[in-house]
Amino acid sequence: MTSTSQLAASSRDRLITFDNFLFGTRWKAQLQDFKDRADELVEHFVSFNMPVPPRFDGLSVIELEITMSSTSWSLLRDYLSELDLLEKQDWISFRGNMHLLHDLAMSWSDKVKERIVAGQADAVMLHLSSQLERIKAAATTLKYCHGKDFKDEHWSALLQGKLGLGKEIRLESLTVGHFVAALDKVLEPALLVFVKELQAQAQGEVLVRDALQELSVWSQTAELSLVEYKEQGRKTMLVKDWGRMFLDLGDKQSLLSSLKESQFYRAFESIGKWSNIAYAIPHTIANSGASYETKMSNLDFVLHALNTVQRKWVYLEPIFARGGLPNESKRFRGVDEDFREIMCLVEVDQKLFSTAFLEWALWFHASIIRASQVQSG
């Protein structure tokens, strides 16, 4: 049943209730007419000195039944009026006060119990009592339908997949009435299991998404810290704060490692999978998962290589600048040119994840070998 027909059925139920209430009012009027006619007959018997006036004991029984029935229908009408006010509320606003639906059921349950204890347990009160118990029983499942962390696909799985609501019903148009109209499905034990798992999935994906967002921001903003180095009037930029940089990188690698242990991580592993996720965070984060792992592994290698080259360059540059080791000067000039060209690139773009910077990994490796040969020579 679609949401439209469900709500229509709910409206028809209310019309039947109001019709029955009006019938009860008409029954009272008809009963009063019968009572007036009975009184008139009794008066006639008396006026004609007839020995035994007629008795209309059945009218008293009927009056009692109509009064009790009318009171029950009146209570049901008042209950449905209060319920209708809640059903009209949009789910986004209502879910922060979800206790109101349970409170309504509890309050009316007390009223119904009072009538049942007083011996006024007619069909209407028994029906109302059953409906109130259903609403109270649905409270646990509805709590997990809060949906604070739900994205579009989570809502679709719940509303269309499980509750059978129409495709036009989205979070923006969802009301309390949609859940009340689908109360039979809400009360199914399988749905409680489903929404618990759905909430756990949504919350888990939020944690993964937030962590990947953190990695994305860090990859876009983290920069090398530079300091100017001068030797015989020649300026070269060098990297400083190596300890902090390696610590930050290690923290982010640990973060990614912990994310990989999450059962919800697979959806974020590759761009191809991200393309099918409707709630995808910015495209920069689509290069996540395995892509981040590769980038950070490359960055770790590049930084350690650069650290090694820089330390050896700082040690050797003053020696060759003052004419030392003339037999190795030609080989050192090659290392010196490579290193200074790399540092010029770094000075222009100091971001850790600079594409140009990461592409110099092979150069760093070659420079390490040459620097080692120069120092050992």
**What is the block-wise mean pLDDT of the chain (377 residues), using blocks of 10 residues?**
44 49 59 68 68 63 70 87 93 93 95 89 89 94 93 94 94 95 95 95 89 87 91 87 93 88 74 32 45 82 85 87 81 82 85 70 58 55
- Identity of the amino acid at 49: N
Nearest-angstrom CA–CA distance, 128 and 215: 55
Nearest-angstrom CA–CA distance, 49 and 55: 16
- Structure confidence at residue 94 (pLDDT): 95
Element of type H or E holding 370: helix 361-376
Report helix, strand and coil shares of the chain as percent, to nearest 5.
75, 5, 20
- Structure confidence at residue 260 (pLDDT): 83
Topology of the domain covering 217-376? Butyryl-CoA Dehydrogenase, subunit A; domain 3 (1.20.140)
CB proximity list for 192: less than 8 A, separation 6 or greater: 140, 141, 144
Domain ranges of the chain: 3-187, 217-376
- Structure confidence at residue 272 (pLDDT): 29
CA dihedral 184, 185, 189, 194 (to 10 degrees): -160
DSSP state of 119: T
- Structure confidence at residue 279 (pLDDT): 33
- Structure confidence at residue 53 (pLDDT): 58
